[in-house]
Chains A and B, each alone.
Chain A
Amino acid sequence: MSRNLLLHFRPQQISAAALRFTLTWGLGGMAALMIVQQLVTGLLLDIFYHPLPVQAYESVQHIQSTIFLGRLVRNLHHWIGHVLIVVVLLHLLRVFLSGAFYSSRRANWLVGLGLAALVLLANFSGYLLPWDQLSYWAVTIATSMLSYIPLIGIPCQELIRGGTDVGAATLQLFYFIHTSFVPATLFFLMTYHFWFVRKAGGVLISGNKTTDKQEKRNLVPVVPNLLVRELSFAAIVTSVIVIFSMRFDAPLGAMANPHLTPESVKAPWYFLGAQELLLHAPPLVAVFFLPLFIGSFLILLPFVKTVEDKTHPLLKTLVLIGFGFLLILTITGIWFRGPGMRLMWPW
């Protein structure tokens, strides 16, 4: 029975060509692994966490200082959360570049976009939970960006905050999103995502045509060929993260104080591109039209008519340029902005 269920996700044999690491760079698998790790560390943190102002901060302090391995668990959850966003974005880019989103994979591209949105939502909602100065003001800044959207901006902002300012109602909502909504939805979409890959005949094998044809026919059993590769990759990724988390602590500033904004506070890093743009472009473009444009572009992408399901090279170049542009903006926002948004060197 369990064997049959597994067969929905993995066949018994796959073509030897599908084993090549550079087909996927292991990004999708890495994302899945990290989501499971987030679930485990998140549950451990949730045992001792209280989603109320003041108590939230104190409970995080308690987890860090008195609970056995508490600090390590929090560090893991924190760092994996950030790395996961990078991995998901790279995965998206990889799938785009190998053109694996046409015909039978079209629906799965959309499911993947949903997953990416959920991962972002998870990170952003988790940002507020420690209730320290950093999280309080970062969420204040990020939700303030909404106020630049005409008509619906302010009502949306107040709905999210549960009032005019970030407060207890905001924490309650973010806690719910982070610990109930996201995990439940993520689970369903992930199952779907994997099953769709299987249904479309495994990963897309691109590259040299003639040798591939031979290799494609050359079937090898999944156990051990694929399994060993996956497990060893997972082991490497996990040990790198654990070592990193043992070495570097997740930040925890002073307790949130709505009366005092600390020096050099920033929005979460994945919003810094938008914030940077906010300095140079009309606000409406930066926080509304650009995200709307990127969103609809990604959704409509697999429906564009193509020859032989190949992405036009020009489109690829344009997307890469756009991606590079956002990357530069984000990097500027993260490392080259000092107190008071002055441009400066990161050292």
Chain B
Amino acid sequence: MAMVENVSSSRRSFLTKIWIGLGVVALLQFFTGAVTYFGSGRKQAEKKPVTLLQAGIITDFPPGSVTPIAKGHLYLNCLDDGSFLAISRKCTHLGCAVPWIEERKQFECPCHASVFDITGAVLKSPAPRALDLYTVSFEKNMVMINTSNPIKRTSFTHDQLVYAPKPS
């Protein structure tokens, strides 16, 4: 008699375990389903085609100028030696938009007072790294900026500069 009870109770606990196991599997399925549902819907907004932005004619940007390009949330800087640099406006600290302060010739973040020079390099923290870059290219006499993916960098180096082709 005792044996019979043991058998039935162990069978019952076995069945209970199966039920719990199935429940966990179902829960996991539901969870992954929900997450994928959510994620796939959000991806659409994220996907951006490669967009080349026409910034303007090369001569529009004299050496030593910083021009805000509102459409791409960026600045097109022409350094004193005539080289170009497209710089993101997003502060690398916590994402505020940094304005160019003409009198002091530097970018000053209004949020936590980070300062960047004309090349986007950090002059004053808390910003941890230089402002992001965008690729600049030239088509005939136009400056083109690839706004689809900003390039992260820790600091400014000279190979980031892009020179316009000599007019022939």
Q: List residues of A whose CB falls within 8 A of some B CB.
A: 137, 140-141, 143-145, 147, 158-159, 162-165, 169, 173, 258-265, 267, 275, 278-279, 283, 339-342
Query: Does chain A have a CB within 8 A of B128?
Result: yes
Query: Does chain A have a CB within 8 A of B45?
Result: yes
- Is A265 a contact partner of B96 (Cβ separation < 8 A)? yes
A141 and B46 contact, Cβ closer than 8 Å, known pairs A261-B111, A264-B110: no
- Is A141 a contact partner of B96 (Cβ separation < 8 A)? yes
On chain B, the residues within 8 Å of A283 by CB distance are: 128
- B42, B73, B95, B112: the one contacting A279 at CB < 8 Å is B112
What's the minimum C-beta distance from A9 to chain B, rounded to whole angstroms? 28
The A interface, classified by DSSP as helix, strand, loop or mixed, is helix
On chain A, the residues within 8 Å of B109 by CB distance are: 261
**Listed A/B pairs (15) with beta-carbon separation below 8 Å:** A140-B94, A145-B94, A158-B46, A162-B42, A163-B45, A169-B42, A258-B73, A261-B98, A261-B110, A262-B110, A263-B110, A279-B112, A283-B128, A341-B112, A342-B113
CA of A261 to CA of B113, assembled, Å: 12
On chain B, the residues within 8 Å of A267 by CB distance are: 94
On chain A, the residues within 8 Å of B110 by CB distance are: 261-265, 339-340
Query: Does chain A have a CB within 8 A of B70?
Result: yes
- Is A162 a contact partner of B97 (Cβ separation < 8 A)? no
Chain B minimum-CB-distance residue to A264: B110
CA of A68 to CA of B95, assembled, Å: 38
CA of A267 to CA of B95, assembled, Å: 12
A261 and B96 contact, Cβ closer than 8 Å, known pairs A159-B39, A283-B128, A341-B111: yes
Interface contacts beyond A164-B46, A340-B113: sample of 8 additional A-B pairs, CB < 8 Å, sorted by A: A141-B94, A159-B39, A163-B46, A169-B42, A258-B97, A339-B110, A340-B111, A340-B112
On chain B, the residues within 8 Å of A341 by CB distance are: 111-113, 126
Contact with A along B59-79 (1 / 0, CB 8 A): 000000000001001000000
Chain B minimum-CB-distance residue to A265: B111
CA of A275 to CA of B73, assembled, Å: 25
Of B89, B94, B113, chain A has the most CB atoms within 10 Å of the CB of B94
Of B39, B45, B98, chain A has the most CB atoms within 10 Å of the CB of B45
- Is A140 a contact partner of B113 (Cβ separation < 8 A)? no
CA of A165 to CA of B73, assembled, Å: 10
CA of A159 to CA of B109, assembled, Å: 26
CA of A158 to CA of B95, assembled, Å: 13
What's the minimum C-beta distance from B97 to chain A, rounded to whole angstroms? 5
On chain B, the residues within 8 Å of A169 by CB distance are: 42, 45
CA of A164 to CA of B46, assembled, Å: 7
A279 and B126 contact, Cβ closer than 8 Å, known pairs A144-B94, A339-B110, A340-B113: yes
- Is B70 a contact partner of A259 (Cβ separation < 8 A)? yes
CA of A123 to CA of B168, assembled, Å: 61
On chain B, the residues within 8 Å of A259 by CB distance are: 70, 73, 89, 97
CA of A145 to CA of B110, assembled, Å: 17
What's the minimum C-beta distance from A52 to chain B, rounded to whole angstroms? 14
- A260, A263, A278: the one contacting B126 at CB < 8 Å is A278
Rank and list the top 10 A-B pairs by shortest CB-CB distance, nearest first. Answer: A340-B113, A144-B95, A144-B94, A261-B96, A341-B112, A169-B45, A141-B94, A162-B45, A261-B97, A140-B95
On chain B, the residues within 8 Å of A265 by CB distance are: 96, 110-111
What's the minimum C-beta distance from B41 to chain A, rounded to whole angstroms? 9
Contact with A along B112-154 (1 / 0, CB 8 A): 1100000000000010100000000000000000000000000
